[in-house]
Chain A
Amino acid sequence: MKSNRLLYLLPLLTLAILAGFFGWSLLSGRDPASIGSVMVGRPAPRLAAPALLPGQPALTDALLHSGKPVLVNFFASWCTPCLAEHPLLERLAKRDGITIIGIAWKNKPEEARAWLERLGNPFAQVGYDLDGKMALDWGLSGVPETFLIDAQGIVRLHFRAPLLEKDVNERIMPLLKAGS
């Protein structure tokens, strides 16, 4: 008879466990739609792309091993969120002096060039990946995506969304300060 009475508590217990899980999901900031990244903590993938702008050298792995951290930003002129994060990249490059390497993804070079001419060019060097072959090695799912590569050439952060002020202040800047 005693175990029967305990059995009546089972639905209540189930409810408590479910409520706990839902509460945790709401409050922990977990995003079940996020596909995550396996790149973080690994050496940066191969960087090899033809230069977008005339007179600039092509992008090579040497850019990721210059002894200081760099941001690698994939963008496209047809991508609206890229437009949204563009002023932030400009500020990071011009005010904070951060090296940003840009790669125009699935973007006709002349269109990417026109886009940079119109909005300003925050990139120390910029290349293009017309067929997305190199981007696959970076585990890219779309644009914009941004990687922070540390001075040792290891990927430290991978953003699968337009950069926000919060990302810069809370995640990028602290790492850059710690690294320099």
Chain B
Amino acid sequence: MRLPRAFVGACLMLLLALPVLAPAFAVEPSEMLPDPALEARAREISRELRCVVCQNQSVDDSNAEVAHDIRRAVRERLVAGDSDSQVLDYMVARYGDYVLLKPPFRMRTLILWLGAPLVLLLGGLGIWRAALRRPPTAAPTPLSEEEKKKVEALLDSKEGVIPSEARDL
């Protein structure tokens, strides 16, 4: 079987592009834990932690020095037997709520969490009240004698042929 040359070429190009397409992980092989279950938990936790020097990147994605240190500390805590939430608390104790990509629900973050639903609720309420207050639409006025005649002429005429006197309807 002979493959068309263009097809072979396209496959080759795709093969060459593969390393570029693969997502670049910041986690270095030397950081990984031998236990796959613990490593999976560590990855999950690092995705919830915010890199403290890169504004909006998770510790799992960041190549920053501090992110590397935090990833290592997460794994050390897990090996020491901490639960996921204990590891998060450990980081919050050092870097504050800033280190969490998902802000906790507190008095200080009330507007953040409830602001958007509140605006939606108020807007919905406004639209609902406006809809209630609008007067019902008036009943349609009956056709005049002339209009009736034109309609009848239309209905009587053969399909697809419109009488000339009805064309301006």
**Residues of chain A having any CB pair with chain B under 8 Å:** 33, 35-38, 106, 131-133, 135-142
Q: Can you list 23 residue pairs at the A/B interface with Cβ under 8 Å?
A: A33-B55, A35-B52, A35-B96, A35-B98, A37-B96, A38-B93, A38-B94, A38-B95, A38-B96, A106-B65, A131-B69, A132-B65, A133-B73, A136-B69, A136-B70, A136-B73, A136-B94, A137-B94, A138-B94, A139-B95, A140-B66, A141-B95, A142-B53
Known: A35-B98, A38-B96. A141 touches B53 (CB 8 A): yes
Interface size on B, residues (CB 8 A): 14
| Chain B 130-149 per-residue mask, 1 if CB under 8 angstroms from chain A, else 0 | 00000000000000000000
| Chain B 67-101 per-residue mask, 1 if CB under 8 angstroms from chain A, else 0 | 00110010000000000000000001111101000
**Residues of chain B having any CB pair with chain A under 8 Å:** 52-53, 55, 65-66, 69-70, 73, 92-96, 98
| A residues in contact with B94, CB < 8 Å | 38, 136-139
| B residues in contact with A37, CB < 8 Å | 96
Q: How far is B68's CA from A136's CA once the two chains are assembled, in angstroms?
A: 11
B95–A35 touching, CB < 8 Å: yes
| B residues in contact with A140, CB < 8 Å | 66
Q: How far is B72's CA from A135's CA once the two chains are assembled, in angstroms?
A: 13
CB distance from A106 to the nearest CB of B (A): 6
B66–A133 touching, CB < 8 Å: no
| A residues in contact with B98, CB < 8 Å | 35-36
CB distance from B109 to the nearest CB of A (A): 14
| A residues in contact with B73, CB < 8 Å | 133, 136
CB distance from B73 to the nearest CB of A (A): 5
